[in-house]
Structure 1
Amino acid sequence: MSPLRSHFRRILVIPARRRSTRLPDKMLLRAAGKTVLQHTYEAALKVKRAELILIATDDEEIAAECRRFGAQAVMTSPDCPSGTDRVAEAVAGFPAAEVIVNLQGDEPEADAAAIDRLFELLEATPTAAMATLATPIRDRHKLEDPSCVKVTFDAVGRALYFSRSPIPHAREWDDSLLATEPATFHQHIGIYGYRRSLLMQMPKWPVGRLEQIEKLEQLRVLENGEAILVAVTQRATRGIDTPEDFADFVARRAA
């Protein structure tokens, strides 16, 4: 083992796969002369607390693209069932890694300051095994959109539940609920920080009942009694899942 592998304590991993049902090969699509993956990597470079950035992939073309723009790629198994599994496999050879952040490769506008907050939360809170991000929802259409995942949390920021349905559910609706301070409703932003012990354990857990129903992997952590801290950010970053998302990203880059 390289001596450097036993040195890094805070690692950011970008899982990147080729298969995408809604937008095939999205990692290799180009905007402003760079692939989506390169844009995401350059956003990750702005994260101050990350000591090492890895791109985890099972695809040789993606690995070649990483080498082209100077990123370190780690080859993982082709049958990883989720990004979490891919991240866990990628950091298995880095025994000193204590806090690991999972930034999906389709997040080219990721907020570096918010990701730094995930590292800081886990380092400052030994009782928490995982951390993630949320941003206020001020639009009722977004609140009711099942593709927008919602999260609710307690007074000290521990997640209570994640859902595709509006939570909390207003028994009597009033538009003023969308304007409260602090916000009543929050959108979950799918960037995760893990303590190493949890990350290595998660792939071994069976899929939970709530996870099966909602199709949300983070519910497996709550179902197993672990705490997830939620950091609120005012900046709602946008991932790329559909052709429309990519077209919007290209337009923003061109503006």
Structure 2
Amino acid sequence: MDEPTIPFGEPELWRVSAFRRAMDSSRNDSARYNALSPSLMADLQRFEHVGAGAEVLEVLAACLRHAQDVAVHLDRDGHVLPLTVFPRERLFHTPLPLESLYSTRFDTVQLLQVERALLLAPGQLPAEMAAPSLLCHPLGPLLWHLALHGPRYELLPELAGPAVYRVAPDLEVPVALGGALGAAVVRLRQEAVSLRALAAWPGFDRERAIRLLNGLYLQAGLIVSRTHPAAGGDSWFSTLSNW
């Protein structure tokens, strides 16, 4: 008998191969987005001409912008990981224990499908259709984890281009930070810097700076300025850090 591929105590997850066979119109890229609002659909279809289309961080950023509950299906080591995201409540639902979820190699996950959420957030009616509250968790730490450790290593489109960045004074980072990341967030509360300048800070390179900015944006805690003299990034003004 074959050894089980799901660790003991975890729920049975679909194999990706079976999920793909069950997807309707799998040959059409738009099948990746099922029953979404027209505005969210249009937002996501911006990415369909680039490589494999949208990836999970772009999808979650769009979900937050449009405040639409969605179910995201990810390829997690050959099995389908479903996540239901409730942006207004800042919660998400997953059948996996949190320990198992956060042990995932998120740098290798791939987006399979996005659809309108079938579950309702806790507190919404009717109660029998709501997601079990014990399986719902704060969304902030998941967004942070995906930004810092997920497959995306470029700025989200909303952040790209000439700009300087600063942390909103009232931002509460959802995880404990130390070392270079903690020091950078403290400094960004007081200074506006370009990506190039941030990448040169101690403990940083370009990719780590990008991941930090994406993470702060997903927490609704990043101020982006495109009119600051340092926004060009390559001029001598980029060495200035006072807003």
Report the TM-score range of the alignment, normalised by the length of the smaller protein: under 0.3
Q: TM (normalized to structure 2)?
A: 0.24
Structure with more strand by fraction: 1
Higher gyration radius (CA): 2
Q: TM (normalized to structure 1)?
A: 0.23
Higher relative contact order (CA 8 A, sep 6+): 1
